[in-house]
Chains A and B, each alone.
Chain A
Amino acid sequence: MPLALPDLQAAFAAHVANDVAGGDRADLAAAVVGDTISAEARLRVYRHHVAHSLSAALAATFPTVQALVGEGFFRGLAQSFVAEALPAQPVLAEYGADFPAFVGAYEPGRALPYLADIARLDWALNVAFHSPKGRRLAAADLAGIAAERLPSLSVALSAGAALIRSRYPIHRIWHASQPDTSANTVDLDAGQADLLVLRRSDDAAFIVLDAGEVAFMVSLAAGTSLEVAAGQAASAEPAFDLSAAFARLLSLEAFAALQ
């Protein structure tokens, strides 16, 4: 009795996903025509392709991670991740949200403690790139608001924006890992990095924030008013200049239009 299609697909899925629980079912191999190339070898072509193509998809989403560790190491890392977590849907740019955490826990990557933060940066750039641009807050939008109302205003980060904070100078590491870079060494003791990833008109990019700016943005991202955020920023950086920082962030289109 041949396998019914639902059973055949369940067995085939378990095979290509390398499920230990499902195992390789003898009835699957028996359903496949073998000749001088065995049924098992033919089935393995698919299993190999699934692992290979998904690890290539992760390389496309995490190019800086791959540039840092090399293709061979990355393949092992990516295939370990793929074995643990296949995509839940067919849009590959949306696959890998859990990859940075996986990188952080990946034992063979221990020698590169900043690697998980680089993965978070790659992921944030990928998310920003695929985000709708959305309406942005412009200086003109604020002109019509009474001055006494401004301090109590809450402004949200623009669509696709993300704050990435690291103990390591990941912005320098990122730049040194680009294909066209001239830098090739980075001092890991050069200090932390507070980055703001933004969806721009034609791409996604990050800028470096100073201590006051990052405190300001972290506070705003949490939903506080401008006044509270400015207070947080001043605590973090006594020299924080609210109007200069706000003007800079506004010109970078870092905020969403007011609702």
Chain B
Amino acid sequence: MAQVAGIGLRAPHLAEIARDRPATGCLEIHAENYLGASPARQAIERLRESYVFSVHAVGLSLGSADGLDADHLARVAALVKRLEPAYVSDHLSWSVHGGRYFNDLLPLPYTEEALDVVVRNVGRLQEALGRQVSIENPSCYLAFAHSTLTEPEFLAELARRSGCGLLLDINNIVVTAHNLRLDPRNWLSGLPDEAITEYHLAGHAVNDCDGEPMLIDDHGSRVGPEAWTLFDTALRRYGVRPTLIEWDTDIPALSVLLDEAAKADRAIRSASPDAARAA
């Protein structure tokens, strides 16, 4: 079977991947790291002959009530046009306000008002790119009291109204569910399966917060046991999708990432042998 699970491509591994071209599923890059015409982007362009790419943006700020930054949107659109990736995604969050960028996935209240904003911004993004994008559930550390929808309800309605895909970050579900006292299986149960386009897997940290454990989405370790269990649940419920291992802090040797991707492939094969063959 061809590998289904791939890895987030990080700068320290670029030379090794370019040289050895290891077998793996999709390679995902962060859009914001490749907007300039650096040697790194040239290396990525040369890798297109060997790999399927996913362009994952972190700074479009799709939840901003003030709308999207036209300059940044144009730069991301130019990159997407250049790379023609199989997948393009960003998050259900916001990170820009008043001309300042916070480099974090800041939370939204799940209200009709916010839904209108995100539907409008995702529509503008899809129009600029001329294609569907996928929206990822963020890790949450708080909930707003005036939310009237759950996060899965919000995502399902966003997909229905904008036509976007959904990128399910399994670790983010684990983190959010723990931090907001939700049942992760329940979170995962009510999504429109035709909208789901990709899965993300990553590790998290545990910090102390008011004397209690708060899970922090630091992408700094191997995928945890809760995420593997929930990944299995997702595979059985929604089936196989392109899956990526993300690792952004304390980046280990490439072999560790490839090992995690191989583990994801084993989970895919055992949960869904037929679908895995077809993928």
Contacts and interface: CB of A to CB of B under 8 A. Distances in A.
B214 A37 contact: yes
Contacts of A4: 113
A113 interface: no
A157 interface: no
Interface in A1-31: 2-6, 8-10, 12-13, 16-17, 30-31
Contacts of A200: 39
Nearest to B143: A33
Interface of B: 32-33, 35-40, 58-61, 64-66, 69, 71-72, 75, 94-104, 106-109, 111, 113-114, 117, 141-146, 179-181, 207, 209-210, 212, 214, 216, 249
Given A45-B214, A87-B100, 18 more contacts: A2-B111, A5-B108, A33-B180, A37-B210, A45-B216, A46-B142, A57-B103, A86-B100, A87-B101, A89-B69, A89-B101, A90-B32, A90-B103, A91-B36, A93-B33, A129-B38, A129-B39, A129-B40
A101 interface: no
- Range class of the A interface residue count: 35 or more
26 contacts: A2-B145, A5-B109, A5-B117, A9-B94, A9-B97, A16-B106, A31-B109, A31-B146, A32-B142, A33-B180, A46-B142, A49-B216, A50-B102, A50-B103, A54-B103, A57-B103, A88-B99, A88-B100, A89-B71, A90-B101, A91-B32, A91-B36, A91-B75, A94-B36, A129-B39, A202-B39
Interface of A: 2-6, 8-10, 12-13, 16-17, 30-33, 35-39, 41-43, 45-46, 49-50, 53-54, 56-57, 86-95, 129-133, 200-203
B106 A12 contact: yes
A53 to B, nearest CB: 5
A-B complex: 8 closest residue pairs judged by Cβ atoms: A90-B59, A130-B36, A2-B146, A132-B37, A42-B142, A13-B97, A45-B141, A87-B101
A41 B210 contact: yes
A232 to B, nearest CB: 32
A87 B98 contact: no
Contacts of A30: 145
Contact of B212 (A13, A32, A37, A132): A37
A16 B98 contact: no
Given A5-B117, A31-B144, A88 B39 contact: no
B71 A5 contact: no
A32 B60 CA distance: 24
A42 B69 contact: no
A39 B107 CA distance: 13
Nearest to A85: B100
B42 to A, nearest CB: 8
A6 B101 CA distance: 16
Contacts of B102: 13, 16-17, 50, 86
A116 to B, nearest CB: 24
A13 B100 contact: yes
B175 to A, nearest CB: 11
Contacts of A57: 103
A201 B114 CA distance: 46
Given A5-B65, A10-B98, A91 B35 contact: yes
